[in-house]
Amino acid sequence: MDFNLSEDQHAFQQAARDFAHAEMSPHAAEWDATAHFPIDVIKKAGEMGFCAMYCPPDDGGMGLSRLDAAIILEELAAACPSTAAYISIHNMVAWMTSTWGSAQLKSEWSAALTSGQKLASYCLTEPGNGSDAGNLKTRAEKVDGGWRLTGAKAFISGAGATDFLVVMARSGGAGPKGISAFAVDAKAEGIHYGRKEEKMGWNSQPTRGITFENVFVPEHHLLGAEGEGFTIAMKGLNGGRINIAACSLGGAQAAYDAARGYVHTRQQFGQSLAGFQSVQFKIADMATRLIAARTMVHRAAVLLDAGAPDAITACAMAKQFASDHCFDIVNDALQLHGGYGYTRDYPIERLLRDLRVHQILEGTNEIMRLIISRSVLDEAKP
């Protein structure tokens, strides 16, 4: 396996780094403090192609690999994990629309989504069915010319500020096979948005519940075939897990870089912190975990691009390992900063708060361990 980035990947990486440095880093602390959703900056990211990284060029996307996208998201997240994570969610919805949308739906929406001029939210989680997505309760009833949606979703990123929703709803019987996927205009009659959640982190993107009251969805807004929604959701989440893992890498890299610089400048007992063996060992462990996490994320991306049979397990492993260990890296960076790391004068505490939720979303890390254990134990069956 070649661990070196290609010339194109280096170019993507540098372009994302430059964009993050110019458009995100100077404002990330303010976005967090004021709970500001930087739609203008996200649209600028769309002009760079970052809102449709792995959508096909025919629909206005860049046609990049999942590895390319992970490299870009890591750079964006080094400036602001919260905003980068929203961009990753938008990418997932744009890709679902390009992959499973009808020709009419794509003619109406794809160009606006891939350019970032219209923003999207992904609606799977429900108030009573967080990890148990296969038992969701939102209903889709067939009517003349389309469907009527009734139900509720919870913890929806971007809700109330986005233009387009992909909604998973039950169009058939119980279980995953009764679920279908629908593209919904976020301004449609009968959609109601709840209060903006007050969160520990991810403050640069709004999070709300959504209630659907007899919302009409045209027939051509069905994604894929009826009953295919759960499959579409899981395929989206496989890539989403790589994306969130990449955002964890970006936050951890930023905290690690800050800690390396700080321990050289901070003096204690007549020498810099970098002169103490205990600090040296902590930095060594941080570096090792960061490289290990990045290797797992890149491997999972390559396997997903290749359609490998073990790609699902690899994505779960990468998401669980990276989100756990990258949070620990940021926590170690905060410890090395001492009391200063706990203040908002330094970015470490924001990075810590933003990365904490990565262990919960796109499937909790407990669910990731369930996926992994089932896979490896099935291999060992006599």
- pLDDT tops 80 at residue 115: yes
Count CB-CB contacts under 10 A for residue 52: 28
Residue 126 φ/ψ, nearest 5 degrees: -125, 160
Average pLDDT for 170-181: 95
Encoded tokens for 350: 């924001």
Q: What is the pLDDT of residues 62-73, one digit of tens each?
A: 999 999 999 999
Instruction: Enumerate residues 6+ apart whose C-beta is below 8 A from 236.
Output: 92, 93, 95, 96, 122
What pLDDT sits at residue 131? Answer: 77
Radius of gyration (Cα) for the chain, nearest Å?
21
Buried b (16+ CB within 10 A) or exposed e, 17-39: bebbeebbeebbbebbeebbbbe
Q: What is the pLDDT of residues 51-63, one digit of tens each?
A: 999 999 999 999 9
Question: Residue 276 — very low, low, confident or very high, per pLDDT cuts 50/70/90?
Answer: very high
Q: Which of 23, 362, 366, 379 is catalytic?
A: 362
Cα 155 to chain centroid distance, Å, stands at: 13
Q: In 202-348, where do the E strands start and end? A: 207-218, 222-223, 267-268, 271-272
Determine the Cα–Cα distance for residues 303 and 307; give it in Å rounded to an integer.
6
Angle at which helices 229-265 and 311-337 cross, to 10°:
30
Residue spans of the domains in the chain: they are: 7-115, 120-226, 230-379
What pLDDT sits at residue 225? Answer: 97
CA atoms within 13 A on the CB side of 379: 8
Residue with more model confidence, 132 or 258: 258
Q: What is the pLDDT of residues 80-95, one digit of tens each?
A: 999 999 999 999 999 9
User: In the CATH hierarchy, which fold is given to the domain comprising 120-226?
Assistant: Butyryl-CoA Dehydrogenase, subunit A; domain 2 (2.40.110)
Q: What is the CATH number of domain 7-115?
A: 1.10.540.10
Q: Which of 18-32, 120-134, 296-310, 326-340 has the lowest mean pLDDT?
A: 120-134
Average pLDDT for 39-60: 97
Q: Which of 361, 230, 256, 240 is nearest to 300 (CA)?
A: 240
Average pLDDT for 211-228: 97
Average pLDDT for 262-269: 91
* Cβ atoms 79, 24 nearer than 8 A: yes
- pLDDT tops 90 at residue 43: yes
Residue type, 373: S
H helices of 20-139, in order, are 28-34, 39-47, 66-79, 81-100, 103-115
Mean pLDDT across the chain, nearest whole number? 96
Determine the Cα–Cα distance for residues 157 and 273; give it in Å rounded to an integer.
40
Instruction: Enumerate residues 6+ apart whose C-beta is below 8 A from 233.
Output: 124, 133, 168, 179, 181
* Cβ atoms 53, 62 nearer than 8 A: yes
Is 362 among the catalytic positions? Answer: yes
Question: Residue 270 — very low, low, confident or very high, per pLDDT cuts 50/70/90?
Answer: confident
User: In the CATH hierarchy, which fold is given to the domain comprising 230-379?
Assistant: Butyryl-CoA Dehydrogenase, subunit A; domain 3 (1.20.140)
- pLDDT tops 80 at residue 295: yes
Residue 348 φ/ψ, nearest 5 degrees: -60, -45
Instruction: Enumerate residues 6+ apart whose C-beta is below 8 A from 168.
Output: 123, 124, 133, 136, 138, 179, 180, 181, 182, 229, 230, 233
Buried b (16+ CB within 10 A) or exposed e, 307-346: eeeebbbbbbbbbbbbbbbbbebbbbbbebbeeebeeeeb
- pLDDT tops 90 at residue 130: no
Average pLDDT for 316-327: 98
What pLDDT sits at residue 1? Answer: 64
Determine the Cα–Cα distance for residues 357 and 346; give it in Å rounded to an integer.
20
Residue type, 306: A
